[in-house]
Amino acid sequence: MSTPQAPNSGTRAATNAATGAPRPPMISTADALATLLAAAQPLAQSETLSTFDALNRVLAVEVVSPLDVPPMNTSAMDGYAVRAADLHQGSRRLPVSQRIPAGHAPQPLAAGTAARIFTGATVPPGADAVVMQEQAEAGDGEVTILHTPKAGEWITAQGADIKKDSVILPVGTRLSPAALGLAASVGCATLTVTRRVKVAVFFTGDELTMPGEPLKPGSIYNSNRFTLTGLLRNLGCDVTDYGIVPDQLDATRATLREAAAQHDLILTSGGVSVGEEDHVRPAVEAEGHIGMWQIAMKPGKPLAFGAVRRGANEAGQAFFIGLPGNPVSSFVTFLLFVRPFLLRLAGVAHVSPRALSLRADFTQTKSDRRNEFLRARVNPAGGLDLFSNQSSAVLTSTVWGDGIIDNPPNHAISAGETVRFIPFTELLY
């Protein structure tokens, strides 16, 4: 596992007005993501599963079709299989020589006859067209053809969908229901996939309280625990939730050591600042190494990236990512950074979400020097409405919205302009 390094912004650090100490320069979202993805080498371990059980897993071995699909010429309609030349040269009234349901092997079609055929059935040797039943009149063992077909009409040719020995699912494919169906269509009963990414998650803060418990003065309910574990499970991770760890350096170090032994990534939110009660940062530094980034984004900005050494009998290290504590900041930074990092670890080839160009049906006159990610939703007219309160503490916006607007730094938005919109459907799975 490579050692993560902090990106270089190429700008001078600012100075903290209160302490006079230099602050790390802000880096762009693109630079931060590039650094994370460069460190996230796909896992080498794989396992073979039943195709039934491989939903949302990532292919470790490409799927090559052992056969043509369809494996023979098939009828695309209920109707009659004919020789087109018979209808060009002779009578349009033909005896029906055989009946061919799907799944039955036909006999060769005799010249001057028609075969009753059904959708998906094998076209008999000798036939080169199918006339749909709406263009024929049947009776007394014969059929009158009311249409002059062309050769190949209503026939799905052998291999029209898939050619034998072609790669139908490459390595790095995340297996959707359609992909499982495609694998099954060429007879794949099992698939070889990358093992699940193992993620440990924990939370620090004596003020954190679990729902169902009395809320003491100065306490808050731990919403991030539910949001982050839910996001991790959506991505198919093998999640270990260590819950709320006491605000103590020794307890935090012990949790890090235990988590590093069996996991690929340790994920936290909050507690990585420089306050006296913020023990995550010194704990990670004691057990490994950590880099603190100031990302030029809103909501978000602080993000920690590093690694925790495994014990003497365990090789390597576990990655560490520390997210901001504010609920919306934690949510957005997970979507933009942790999600692609985890997908890349799992071996997914393409991790960038697809964005839409949509019309802004609002005006935002105030711009920000950071890259803003604004919660918005699509209105009935096909434009975007903006949530009224874009604070990083307002979790309501993440449920109300359909996605986020990726607004460049120093850019005010005018009603009617086209903006870049990333739907949550591209970010949550």
Say which range, 16-25, 88-97, 326-335, has the weakest mean pLDDT: 16-25
Indicate the pLDDT class of residue 272, thresholds 50, 70 and 90.
Answer: low
End-to-end CA distance of the chain: 25
Q: Which of 209, 349, 361, 205 minimizes the C-alpha distance to 269?
A: 205
The CATH number of domain 50-68+162-194 is 3.90.105.10: yes
**Structure tokens, 42:** 């796909």
Do 320 and 305 meet the contact criterion of CB atoms below 8 Å apart?
Answer: yes
Type of residue found at 352: S
Three-class SS string for the chain? CCCCCCCCCCCCCCECCCCCCECCCEECHHHHHHHHHHHCCCCCCEEEEEHHHCCCCEECCCEECCCCECCCCEECCCEEEECHHHHHHCCCEEEEEEEECCCCCCCCCCCCCEEEECCCCECCCCCCEEEEHHHEEEECCEEEECCCCCCCCCEECCCCCECCCCEEECCCCECCHHHHHHHHHCCCCEEEEECCCEEEEEEECCCEECCCCCCCCCCEECHHHHHHHHHHHHCCCEEEEEEEECCCHHHHHHHHHHHHHHCCEEEEECCCCCCCCCCHHHHHHHHEEEEEEEECEECCCEEEEEEEECCCCCCCEEEEEEECCCHHHHHHHHHHHHHHHHHHHCCCCCCCCCCEEEEECCCECCCCCCEEEEEEEECCCCCEEECCCCCCCCCHHHHHCCEEEEECCCCCECCCCEEEEEEHHHCCC
The whole-number pLDDT of residue 6 equals 45
The whole-number pLDDT of residue 5 equals 47
Q: Which residue has the tokens 């070889």?
A: 192
Q: Is the pLDDT of residue 236 over 60?
A: yes
Give Dmax over CA atoms of the chain in angstroms: 101
Separation in Å, CA 313 to CA 262, 310, 317? 12, 8, 12
Type of residue found at 336: L
Mean pLDDT of 143-164: 96
The whole-number pLDDT of residue 136 equals 96
Q: Which of 312, 222, 318 minimizes the C-alpha distance to 271?
A: 222
Domain 356-426: assigned CATH number:
2.40.340.10
Q: Is the pLDDT of residue 20 over 80?
A: no
The whole-number pLDDT of residue 48 equals 98
Separation in Å, CA 233 to CA 53, 199, 294, 341? 16, 10, 28, 15
The whole-number pLDDT of residue 210 equals 80
The whole-number pLDDT of residue 212 equals 86
Q: Is the pLDDT of residue 16 over 60?
A: no
Q: Could you tell me the strand order of the sheet in which 129-132 lies?
A: 129-132, 79-82, 114-117, 93-100, 142-145, 136-139
Mean pLDDT of 401-427: 97
Indicate the pLDDT class of residue 3, thresholds 50, 70 and 90.
Answer: very low
Say which range, 83-97, 113-127, 347-361, 407-421, has the weakest mean pLDDT: 83-97
The whole-number pLDDT of residue 277 equals 53
Supply the mean pLDDT for the chain: 91
What's the pLDDT tens digit per position in 220-231? 888 999 999 999
The whole-number pLDDT of residue 24 equals 67
Q: Is the pLDDT of residue 8 over 50?
A: no
Q: What is the pTM of this model?
A: 0.86
The whole-number pLDDT of residue 329 equals 95
Q: Is the pLDDT of residue 19 over 80?
A: no
Separation in Å, CA 381 to CA 56, 110, 135, 245? 33, 60, 44, 47
**Structure tokens, 227:** 């949001």
Domain 74-156: assigned CATH number:
2.170.190.11
The whole-number pLDDT of residue 207 equals 79
The whole-number pLDDT of residue 22 equals 63
Q: Is the pLDDT of residue 56 over 90?
A: yes
The whole-number pLDDT of residue 154 equals 98
Say what percent of the chain tops pLDDT 70: 91
The whole-number pLDDT of residue 11 equals 41
Indicate the pLDDT class of residue 75, thresholds 50, 70 and 90.
Answer: very high
Cα–Cα distance between 411 and 254 in angstroms, integer?
Answer: 45
Q: Is the pLDDT of residue 121 over 80?
A: yes
> Which of 23 and 146 is assigned the larger pLDDT?
146
The whole-number pLDDT of residue 279 equals 82
Indicate the pLDDT class of residue 273, thresholds 50, 70 and 90.
Answer: low
Cα–Cα distance between 100 and 107 in angstroms, integer?
Answer: 9
What's the pLDDT tens digit per position in 206-218? 778 888 888 888 8
Long-range contacts of 425-428 (CB under 8 A, 24+ apart): 426/353, 426/354, 426/355, 427/335, 427/336, 427/339, 427/353, 427/403, 428/231, 428/234, 428/335
Mean pLDDT of 299-309: 94
Cα–Cα distance between 324 and 334 in angstroms, integer?
Answer: 10
The whole-number pLDDT of residue 18 equals 45
Cα–Cα distance between 204 and 269 in angstroms, integer?
Answer: 8
Q: Is the pLDDT of residue 204 over 50?
A: yes
Cα–Cα distance between 286 and 266 in angstroms, integer?
Answer: 15
> Which of 232 and 215 is assigned the larger pLDDT?
232
Do 84 and 123 meet the contact criterion of CB atoms below 8 Å apart?
Answer: no
Q: Which residue has the tokens 């006296």?
A: 276
Domain coordinates in residue numbering, the chain: 26-45+196-345, 50-68+162-194, 74-156, 356-426
Say which range, 275-289, 305-319, 340-354, has the weakest mean pLDDT: 275-289
- For the chain, the residue count is 429
Say what percent of the chain tops pLDDT 90: 80
Mean pLDDT of 233-237: 96
CATH of 26-45+196-345, one of 3.40.980.10, 3.40.50.970, 3.40.50.2300, 3.40.50.880: 3.40.980.10
